[in-house]
Structure 1
Amino acid sequence: MKYADIIVDISHEDLDKTYQYLIPEQLRDRAVIGAQVLIPFGKGNRQIKGFIIGLSDKPKWKEDAIKPITALAEDALVMESQLISLAGWIKDTFGSTMNEALKTVLPVKRTVKQKENRMIKAALPKEELVIILETERKKNNKGRVRLLEALIRTPSLDYNWVIDTLRLSLTTIKDMEKLGIIEKESSVLYRNPIKETSSTGRTIVLTPPQQEIVEDFLKEYREGTRQTYLLHGVTGSGKTEVYINIIEEVVSTGRQVIVLIPEISLTYQTVLRFYQRFSDRVSIMNSKLSQGEKYDQYIRAKNGDIDIIIGPRSALFTPFQKLGLIIIDEEHEGSYKSENPPKYHARETAIERARLCDASVILGSATPSLESYKKALDGEYKLYRLTDREGKRQMPHIWTVDLREELKARNKSIFSRKLKTLIEERLQRKEQVMLFINRRGYAGFISCRSCGLVLKCPHCDISLTSHNGGKLICHYCGYEENFPEKCPSCGSKYIASFGTGTQKVEEMARKEFPAARILRMDMDTTRKKGGHEEILSAFAKGQADILVGTQMIVKGHDFPKVTLVGILAADLSLYAADFRASERTFQLLTQAAGRAGRAELPGEVVIQTYQTEHHSVVCAGKGDYEEFYNQEMVYRKLMSYPPASHIMAVLIASKEEEKALKASELLTNALKQWEEREELLEYHVIGPAPARLSKANDIFRFCFYIKEEDYKRLVAAKDFLDGFYRFSEEFQGTQVQFDFDPMNSY
């Protein structure tokens, strides 16, 4: 290869541009993608660092105008090089452009005003300051007198305090600096997003099973073994304690650690526990931080000022120079899969990043994803099990209530008789209750009981959702309209909301239990910065008796006084048009049940359902993961769904419906012709058809799926379709996206 596409070091220039350089003959063997280079840049040919992200034999403009690379960096592979190599792997593995992958792994340099800590210090000994003070008093220089008096008491003063409190002019400060009486000093002040958190140094005493896992992992780590481990521990078994003990050892060797968590809402409690052990050597990275805070955490990590970063999916790309361990807690969570190109999965990407920097990976969950558990059973991951709760505390007693029987008994409340009785008992005993519902908003959909009309968004093919204040809102594009007094189709007044959301549950709970203090936690109540922490902290301090919420309340939280969890409409997620619906339902029910009885007080759980006989409900009621896995895998093998096979979704979008349909047909036909021409085994293609969300923001969407056991064959199909789409004029005005083993159906 003669030419290299180079992205300049992100600390200098905009990420989005690449520049082509000539590779000198003597460097061609070592000029590989991800290599760090020194290049002449701009009119002045100033020497700056850059990274090779592409190689080619063809010049993009006149050959004599292309500058040569000056040199390759002689030092070992550095952080940015690793992340660029990772971006190349993401591009190839998950089907995206290099630019999309680079934007994911490297933060775009934004102009962020750095905070400075500015001080004014005495430049002379105290004795000399006293002599100068007497001279300035005789001259009646009041400003200088105030500053000298302050410096004699305290030889180092905050700059802003001097200006604001001592009321000194900038001229006075400059004059005294010129005379050599004072000197100014400034240092960059990095924002720390962790506030009001104290370090207690609490010692964790491990149980024998926990100790066994820690010792086995560390033995292998010290011997240089780097692999992926799956920690399958029941809820309350102390997975976090295992993580903390392992991290302590890894950090003591000079290596750094990334801890991924699925939701921003988990950060508060997780950080608290880590901060108590590691103090200010731990920090967080999440979307609620300001740009300044994010940039500061990036620099702190790059400079080695912190050892541990905690955050959701994006924290995986923290620029640690000596990364030694990546932990993915609640690894089964769907939020670890990106919904925007590149549609990477954090689990596989973490394993690749760990391979690049000689690190280990620990995946942890009470309800592992079928993909991870299968790999553990196949020996690809090493499996650890924690089968008991800490302190031999009992797992909660689970009641499964058939809502069909409740209706027969003329109970039309959202609270079954059993749940109502148990809530009243808890309120009398001053214990806490969590009510979980996996819906958001005031209600499900708006429908006319006379003609059956469902009110939909005019821009997106989904039903509008009713919210407080008489508003109907589209949760895809944000479109709003007022709740109609009568049906716009037939004029009937029998138009109402169906389904139950968190706001409605909160209202009904207030009516049913008027003395109870109730908090609600969902997307609407946690929009503002710090919203999660505020609600969770209030509940943890006992400022509420009942916490009503969506799935964000059931993941990983530990509240000692919660002795009852009510799961309303437990089977609602079974109705999703998605092959993972049963798995998600089982995980949600098990995770929700796991919030009860985590301390000395025993816990109970009420699962309210219409599908008492469904295997995900039955197995969750028994707390039997293995039985659920075995039953679900039978279905996955039968239908050739992951992890028994692989599936790739191809999404085609256009502002013109006809164009989107035609493009989807062209792609599926081209795939068939390619199979015949190359004499390949036939791919199993489903579709094309309109996507489930067939219209969003006035853009029409079609999709088709390809099932294939061999992942490499799926990647080959993606490469062919991507090339066909990019080099054919017939696809103008359309967009094509690829998604491997999607977490949601299209």
Structure 2
Amino acid sequence: MHYADIIVDISHENLDKSYQYSIPEEFREEAIIGALVIVPFGKGNRFIKGYIVDISETAKWKVELIKPIHQIVPNGLVIESQLISLAYWIKETFGATMNDALKTVIPVKKSVKSIEKKTIRLAISAEEAGNYLEVFKKKNNKGRVRLLEAFFSDSDEQPQAIEELDYELAVNKLNIARTTIQDLEKIGIITTKVERLYRNPLSNRETEYESILLSKEQKFIADEIIRDYKAGFRKTYLIHGVTGSGKTEVYLEIISSVIKQGKKVIMLIPEIALTYQTVMRFYKRFGSRISIMNSRLSQGERYDQFMRAKNGDIDIMIGPRSALFTPFKDLGLIIMDEEHESSYKSENPPKYHAREVAIKRGELSGASIILGSATPSLESYKKALQGEYKLFTLPSRNGEGRMPKIWIEDLREELKKKNKSIFSLHLKELIQDRLNKKEQIILFINRRGYAGFVSCRSCGFVMKCPHCDVSLTAHNNGTLICHYCGHEESMPSKCPSCGSKYIAAFGTGTQKVEEMVKKEFPEARVLRMDTDTTKTKDGHEKILSAFANQEADILVGTQMIVKGHDFPMVTLVGILAADLSLYASDYRAAERTYQLLVQAAGRAGRGRLPGEVVIQTYQPEHYSISAASNNDYDGFYKQEMNYRDLLKYPPAAHILAILIASKDENKAIFAAKLLGGAAKEWAETEQITEDTIIIGPAAAVLSKANDIYRYMIYVKQSDYKYLILLKNYLEGYINFSEHFEMCNVQFDFNPMNSY
């Protein structure tokens, strides 16, 4: 006998509650995950609808008490069915409970309050507004100028005003202060209208849009994908376009065609790059038929957005990875911009990667997938070269922008010149030059990549694990530890390579950089952008808005300043320590470094003015740095893949990371040893010991957090399906052993970040 777990109310807050029913023999073939069924429910056996979320041969209750399914609804695979099937695939592929997977995929209804919808309208004619716009430009009232400009199309001829502007869009994405809106209201230029909404869409009026003429390369890509789509071919495409090459224009053209065919679109953008500039381009073209997801939305607001999508009130959902589960009934296209971003990988169970889930959702709904990046992930590029994805390239910048000139400054040489400043002599000169010219500068430091690695300032040598080829992490007790295999050694007093005494743990924070900039260039106006300065709700927007308004000359920051922002007056980017991310104890360190350097360099020279980039490093000969300076992705890819092949790291092979956590350190260690032994036994049983590498257990990089001890096991295997089998085997082992009662075990396939 087979049994089905059935959810009877997927809008209910508690998705954990499923009921088991038996599957009559005549329904065996139709009873699939996600199927819509009718079942007798409760004491009165009233018939209600439900969805199958799991199937097994084990009864959870007394067999005589389990009721049979009454009916499987013919052609009942509605959008909920598709999402439940997707949840089941996520559970099987990435390792998690079905409940966790369902909560990720299904929009859970919370108590939804009515929300206010505020819009801004012009209270005067378009001609009068145009006159005011000119006045404000002369007075340099940048906020007022931006607000009025948002009401007009991009046309240089007779301005056409749009009827209304979303208030929150103006405040949050256009960086317009609420006081600016109030001031223009008092003058009588605009009015604000407030209406209470539950799930109503914005007014369905399209904005006037003047189409942009695509370049020959852009048009070729858009035409090819549209031709495939109209012919009924559904593929995965990778667009590899340099920073500023105009990938967004290509997306807009394809989206427009897909929507005309009555289909819906999901546009994924990493949260960090979800800027007002990007959103406004979509808003101007598609008007209120778009919706935006972001982390600031409450559960209730998120549910509202999903219901608008399900009701067909919108055509495009823009947002980070959670937008992937928008319940569009006629989904035709999923675009994943900046597909290399690590934020597309979930850090909480189920630890899915949005790229793989997007492709699976495309299969289930008959949608095409477009991946785009200036620095594609090795995983995607490998599949593109193998023909699994169709590859397109945009090798040059669009319009007036030119690729910046890139300088590499060797910090070892600076030390020989007795320059102990964090700025090389050349970078100092260029900063002063830009300050004199009233142009803007971005100084980037990847503090997040800093993991206490030890390097020599004299020769650039880095202390690495002899077994894993990742950098050793310095600990306060004077030991260096590898957090992959547990190898330990003492902190040397002299560099093992050149004998210099200048060997120490490396790290300079943004705050220190800001202080040094102010000391070195007292006349400069400096802004700092990192997690500390962006804690407040609109912290990001305030800093970016001030910089866009040229209220500062120099912006100092972490990686959040190099994602998707377009500042035409920035003509110099200084990357202060490329090595910080290069030697984080993570096998993806070189790839991350290459991506960050190219993305950071991409901020320079995006307007009419030419740009320059200075990369400061102790390792100028490292292939990730030299390739980034030449924008040579193919050269970097070949070198990095040689390294991954040699050490069996993804995408050459696959890794299953197993995290064992417990408040009792002895229990964590014992459980980790048990799982390590069980993994070895399994490999022997499957007769794949030669192709399976088991590393650890070892203490995690973050070995103790909130009084919880963390241990890791890594399993490398070239065939992903074997790692899924191992995960299933270990889950069973954990469930039937008392030694895991006080332990939490999590599985992560091909992790994006080190533990």
> TM over 0.5: same fold?
yes
- Stretches of structure 1 that go unaligned for 5 or more consecutive residues are 118-185, 446-460, 465-495
1:536 CA displacement: 2.2
8 A contact 1:441–1:503 mirrored in 2: no
Q: 2:411 aligns with which of 395, 403, 411?
A: 403
Contact 1:555 1:591 in 2 (8 A): yes
Q: Which amino acid aligns with 2:240?
A: H
For residues 667-717 of structure 1, the C-alpha deviation after alignment (integer angstroms, 9 at most, x for no partner) is 222222333345444421111112222111111111111111111112112
The answer as to whether partners of 1:562 and 1:603 remain within 8 angstroms in 2 is yes
CA distance in 2, matches of 1:664, 1:600: 58
User: Aligned residue for 1:723?
Assistant: 732
With 705-714 and 385-394 compared, the bigger mean Cα shift is at 385-394
Inter-CA distance 546–202: structure 2 relative to 1 (3 Å threshold): farther
Provide the rounded CA distance (Å) in 2 between the counterparts of 1:7 and 1:539: 51
* 1:603 paired residue number: 611
The answer to whether structure 1 residue 689 and structure 2 residue 723 are counterparts is: no
CA deviation after TM superposition for structure 1 residue 341, in Å = 1.2
Residues in 1 aligned to 2:350 and 2:271: alpha-carbon distance in whole angstroms:
20
Q: Equivalent residue for 1:217?
A: 225
Shift of 1:589: 0.4
Change (3 A) 1:745 1:354: same
Does the residue aligned with 1:390 lie in a helix, a strand or coil? Answer: coil
Partner letter of residue 58 of structure 2? K
**Aligned residue number for residue 86 of structure 1:** 86
Label 1:678 to 1:95 Cα distance change in 2 as closer, same or farther (>3 A): same
Residue of structure 2 equivalent to 1:478: none
Distance 1:356 1:314, change over 3 A: same
Specify which of 423, 447, 458 is matched with residue 439 of structure 1. Answer: 447
Closer/same/farther in 2, CA of residues 528 and 288 from structure 1, 3 Å limit: farther
Q: 2 CA distance for matches of 1:38 and 1:419?
A: 71
The letter of the residue matching 1:736 is: V
Q: Which sits farther off after the overlay, 294-303 or 209-218? A: 294-303
Q: Alpha carbons of 1:187 and 1:532: their partners in 2 closer, same or farther (altered >3 Å)? A: closer
Q: Please state how far the C-alpha of 1:52 moved relative to its aligned partner.
A: 0.5
CA contact (8 A) 1:198 1:275 kept: no
Counterpart position of 2:708:
699
Checking the alignment, whether the CA contact within 8 Å between 1:37 and 1:72 is kept in structure 2 is yes
The answer to whether the Cα contact below 8 Å between 2:442 and 2:573 also exists between their aligned partners in 1 is yes
In structure 2, the partner of 1:373 is: 381
Q: Is the 8 A contact 2:439 2:571 kept in 1?
A: yes
Q: Which residue of 2 aligns with 1:456?
A: none
Among 466, 489, 508, the alignment partner of 2:516 is 508
CA distance in 2, matches of 1:591, 1:349: 25
Match of 1:714 among 720, 723, 729: 723
State the distance in 2 between where 1:198 and 1:539 align: 31
**Partner amino acid, structure 2, of 1:50:** G
| Alignment partner of 2:246 out of 234, 238, 243 | 238
Equivalents in 2 of 1:419, 1:13: separation in Å?
A: 56
How far is 1:110 from its partner? 1.4
For 1:334 and 1:203, how far apart are their aligned partners in 2? Answer: 33
The alpha-carbon deviation at position 517 of structure 1 amounts to: 2.7
The AA in structure 2 aligned to 1:415 is F
Q: Judging changes above 3 Å, is the alpha-carbon distance between structure 1 residues 433 and 187 closer, same or farther for their aligned structure 2 residues? A: closer
Aligned residue among 551, 558, 562 for 1:554: 562
Query: Whole-Å Cα distance in 1 between the matches of residues 383 and 696 of structure 2?
Result: 30
User: For residues 463 and 428 of structure 1, what CA distance do their matches in structure 2 show?
Assistant: 44
Residues 537, 38 of structure 1: alpha-carbon distance in 2 compared, 3 angstrom cutoff = farther
Is it true that 1:537 corresponds to 2:562 in the alignment? no
Q: How does 1:43-122 map to 2 (within 5 A)?
A: 43=43, 45=45, 47-115=47-115
Describe the shift of the 1:309–1:463 C-alpha distance in structure 2 as closer, same or farther (beyond 3 A): farther
Q: 1:526 to 1:295 in 2, by over 3 A?
A: farther
Aligned residue pairs, count: 630
Percent of counterpart pairs with the same letter?
Answer: 66
Conserved in 1, the CA contact under 8 Å of 2:408 and 2:620? yes
Partner SS for 2:274: helix
Q: Distance in 2 between matches of 1:13 and 1:415?
A: 55
In the alignment, the residues of structure 1 paired with residue 82 and residue 684 of structure 2 have an alpha-carbon distance, to the nearest angstrom, of: 39
Whether the 8 Å contact between 2:668 and 2:711 is mirrored in structure 1 is yes
Work out whether 1:328 is the aligned partner of 2:336.
Answer: yes
1:228 offset after TM fit, Å? 0.6
Q: Could you tell me which residue of structure 2 aligns to residue 302 of structure 1?
A: 310
The two structures, once aligned, show a CA RMSD in angstroms of 2.7
Please give the secondary structure, in 2, of the residue aligned with 1:391: coil
Matched residue type, 1:599: G
CA distance in 1, matches of 2:116, 2:543: 33
User: Could you tell me how far apart the structure 2 residues matched to 1:497 and 1:641 are?
Assistant: 26
Give the 3-state SS of the residue equivalent to 1:555 in structure 2. coil
Distance (Å, rounded) in 2 between the aligned partners of 1:193 and 1:632: 48
Within-5 A mapping of 1:274-423: 274-391=282-399, 393-423=401-431
Q: CA deviation at 1:443?
A: 12
| Contact preservation (8 Å) 1:441, 1:501 | no
Distance 2:674 2:617 in 1: 45
Change (3 A) 1:524 1:8: farther
Q: Offset of 1:441 from its aligned partner?
A: 12
CA 1:442–1:400 in structure 2 vs 1: closer, same or farther (change >3 Å)? closer
Partners of 2:427 and 2:290 in 1: how far apart? Answer: 41
Distance 1:528 1:72, change over 3 A: farther
Q: For the Cα contact (< 8 Å) 1:264–1:311, is it kept in 2?
A: no
Q: Is the 8 A contact 2:701 2:754 kept in 1?
A: yes
TM-superposed CA distance for 1:14, in Å, is 2.0
| Aligned pair partner of 1:577 in 585, 592, 595 | 585
Residue by residue over 1:327-371, the C-alpha shift from the partner in whole angstroms, topping out at 9 and shown as x without a partner, is 111111111111111111111111001110000111111111111
CA-to-aligned-CA distance 1:53-111 (integer Å, 9 cap, x gap)? 11233332234443443433334522111111111111111111111111111133211
Distance 2:511 2:475 in 1: 18
Whole-Å Cα distance in 2 between the matches of residues 380 and 352 of structure 1? 14
Tell me if structure 2 keeps the 8 A contact 1:235–1:591. yes
Give 1:307 deviation, angstroms.
1.0
Distance 1:497 1:705 in 2: 26
Deviations 1:411-436 (A, max 9, x none): 23222222222122222222221111
User: 1:626-647: per-residue Cα shift (whole Å, max 9, x none)?
Assistant: 1111111111111111111111
Deviation at 1:664, TM superposition (A): 1.5
Distance 1:695 1:462, change over 3 A: farther
For the residue of structure 2 that corresponds to 1:742, the secondary structure is coil
Which of 518, 533, 550 aligns to 2:526? It is 518
Structure 2: how far apart are the matches of 1:712 and 1:442?
Answer: 34
Amino acid at match of 1:107: P
Question: Residue 96 of structure 2: SS of its match in structure 1?
Answer: coil
* 2:120 alignment counterpart: none
Question: In the TM superposition, what are the counterparts of 1:481-496 in structure 2 within 5 Å?
Answer: none
1:187 is displaced (CA, Å) by: 8.0
Offset of residue 272 of structure 1: 1.6
The correspondence of residues 583-732 of structure 1 with structure 2, limited to 5 A, is: 583-682=591-690, 683-732=692-741
Judge conservation of contact 2:441–2:572 (CA < 8 Å) in 1.
yes
For the residues of structure 1 that align with 2:109 and 2:284, how far apart are their CA atoms? 33
Structure 1's 9 and 116: CA in aligned 2 closer, same or farther, altered over 3 A? farther
Task: Report the CA distance between 1:611 and its aligned residue.
Answer: 1.1
1:192 shift after superposition: 7.8
- 2:481 aligned residue: none
Give 1:428's match in structure 2, choosing from 431, 436, 439. Answer: 436
Farther off after superposition, 552-561 or 379-388:
552-561
Does the CA contact (< 8 Å) of 1:444 and 1:500 recur in 2? no
SS in 2 for 1:102: helix
